[in-house]
């Protein structure tokens, strides 16, 4: 039997997929990996040293700091340490820290696998109450430091040209993060199932890419120039957004959408996407447990494979400035990521489909207008403020929709057997796909 005969047979394809999956699980269980030595935590407080290895996340009540090159009482350790420090003294990327702390291993809580989540970032130990913090500022130059400086300047510029809460919301839309938003607004995002738009993920970037491409390709610039221009914008986005691992993955997912338009062959694109995911997982296998990676990858697959056929059926949506494709891509991403949301968060937002379908199509336009306003603000703040009026208007509409839906009683429902429901929903989606593939193979 030739390989192409297996591929053309849906039943044989399914059997081969299940066999490969089971073999992978078997191999994974044969070689359990011990955590790095940073997880070998002492039972009492000790002196800890380390270098800030990522952007410092400042919140209302403190700073979230990731340390590499960690040492316990002058003994070097492998792996990263997460430190929850007070707001002062302020810490920057590349600084060396010395402090006393009782280091702990992260544990799961309230059904959230916090330890597995941190492992995706190479973090295997945490410190919640560091004492006697001594900061030694970095004196060396680094590319990452320059990129983070650019991002800091960009977020400060947004706060200058836009009022709150719009500057914080649009900053989260572009760069990820919701720490500056009020507690009530965060609750509204959770209740409406729209929190994902505040993460730097392939979800937002892919939707932006497909919408921007559709708009550019409808102009005189044409297909080739549109593809080149979108690729340049993605590269600029990665740099301005801080070039963190999550941002780089989001940029890669967005580039895959561009590549799909270039190749124009769905079968080839699925192979390219699977190869991309395989390379990412080869460098960091724990990404498989990262919710952001799961949402980004599945959403990008949905956008690449379903946007065109679904947009052809959504003829009631106006086909102007890429609105129909934005709506179709948003709908596809929402449907295919539902099992992941159920599995990890255990909740169902009864109004999430309606809120997402109203908000998500506006995401690419809000990102684009915010980016234009930001670039204008770099040159002259009053011009940036004037140019950002459209971004403010879009932000106002999106926040009002989210607040209105979030105020509906019992909008967010806790599911008793959420993971079972996630499996059922995933199974239904798989059967629909399998039936469609089987029907296509017979015609």
Q: How far is residue 336's CA from residue 298's CA, in Å, rounded to a whole number?
A: 7
Mean pLDDT calculated for residue range 364-376: 84
Instruction: Look at residue 243 in the predicted model and tell me its pLDDT.
Output: 64
Residue 64 has pLDDT above 50, yes or no: yes
Q: How far is residue 333's CA from residue 341's CA, in Å, rounded to a whole number?
A: 12
Q: Average model confidence (pLDDT) for the chain? A: 78
CB 368 within 8 A of CB 394: no
Q: Highest mean pLDDT: which of 50-59, 259-268, 341-350?
A: 50-59
Instruction: Look at residue 6 in the predicted model and tell me its pLDDT.
Output: 46
Contacts of 175 by beta carbon, 8 Å cutoff, 6+ apart: 151, 154, 155, 200, 240, 241, 242, 247
Domain spans in the chain, listed from the N-terminal domain onward? 45-136, 159-442
Q: How far is residue 90's CA from residue 348's CA, in Å, rounded to a whole number?
A: 39
Instruction: Look at residue 154 in the predicted model and tell me its pLDDT.
Output: 83
pLDDT in tens, 93-149: 889 999 999 988 888 776 667 887 788 788 888 999 899 899 998 888 887 788 788
Q: Which residue has the higher pLDDT, 127 or 296?
A: 127
Instruction: Look at residue 1 in the predicted model and tell me its pLDDT.
Output: 47
The overall pTM is greater than 0.85: no
CB 203 within 8 A of CB 291: no
Reply yes or no on domain 45-136 having CATH 2.40.50.
yes
Q: State phi, psi for 347 to the nearest 5 degrees.
A: -130, 155
pLDDT in tens, 32-47: 566 677 777 777 888 9
pLDDT in tens, 17-37: 566 666 666 555 555 566 677
């Amino acid at each position: 039997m030739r390989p192409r005969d297996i591929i053309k047979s849906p039943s044989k394809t399914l059997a081969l997929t299940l066999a490969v999956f089971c073999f992978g699980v078997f191999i994974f269980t044969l070689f359990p990996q011990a955590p790095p030595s940073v997880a070998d935590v002492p039972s009492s407080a000790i002196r800890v040293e380390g270098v800030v290895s990522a952007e410092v996340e400042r919140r209302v009540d403190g700073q979230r700091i990731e340390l590499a090159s960690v040492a316990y009482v002058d003994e070097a350790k492998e792996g990263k340490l997460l430190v929850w420090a007070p707001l002062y003294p302020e810490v920057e990327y590349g600084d060396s820290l010395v402090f006393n702390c009782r280091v702990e291993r992260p544990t799961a809580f309230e059904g959230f696998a916090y330890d597995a989540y941190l492992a995706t970032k190479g973090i295997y130990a945490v410190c919640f109450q560091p004492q006697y913090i001594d900061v030694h500022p970095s004196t060396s130059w680094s590319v990452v430091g320059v990129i983070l400086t650019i991002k800091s300047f960009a977020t400060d510029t947004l706060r200058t040209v836009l009022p709150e809460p719009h500057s914080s919301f649009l900053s989260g839309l572009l760069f990820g993060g919701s720490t500056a938003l009020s507690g009530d607004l965060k609750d509204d995002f959770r209740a409406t199932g729209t929190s994902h738009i505040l993460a730097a993920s392939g979800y937002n970037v892919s939707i932006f890419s497909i919408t921007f491409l559709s708009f550019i390709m409808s102009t005189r610039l044409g297909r080739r120039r549109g593809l080149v221009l979108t690729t340049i914008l993605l590269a600029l986005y990665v740099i301005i957004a801080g070039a963190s691992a999550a941002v780089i993955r989001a940029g890669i997912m967005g580039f895959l959408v561009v590549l799909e338009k270039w190749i124009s062959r769905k079968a080839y694109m699925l192979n390219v996407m699977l190869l991309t995911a395989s390379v990412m997982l080869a460098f960091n296998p724990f990404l498989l447990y990262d919710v952001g990676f799961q949402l980004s990858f599945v959403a990008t697959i949905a956008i690449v494979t379903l946007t065109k056929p679904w947009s052809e059926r959504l003829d009631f949506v106006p086909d102007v400035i890429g609105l129909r494709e934005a709506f179709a891509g948003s709908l596809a991403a929402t449907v295919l990521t539902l099992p992941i949301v159920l599995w990890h968060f255990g909740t169902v937002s009864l109004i999430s489909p309606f809120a997402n379908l109203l908000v998500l199509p506006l995401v690419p336009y809000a990102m684009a207008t915010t980016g234009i306003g930001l670039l204008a603000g770099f040159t002259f703040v009053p011009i940036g403020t004037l140019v950002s009026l459209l971004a403010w208007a879009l932000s106002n509409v999106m926040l009002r929709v989210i607040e209105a839906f979030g105020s509906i009683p019992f909008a967010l429902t806790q599911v008793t057997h959420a993971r079972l429901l996630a499996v059922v929903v995933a199974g239904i989606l798989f059967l629909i796909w399998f039936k469609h593939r089987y029907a296509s193979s017979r015609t």
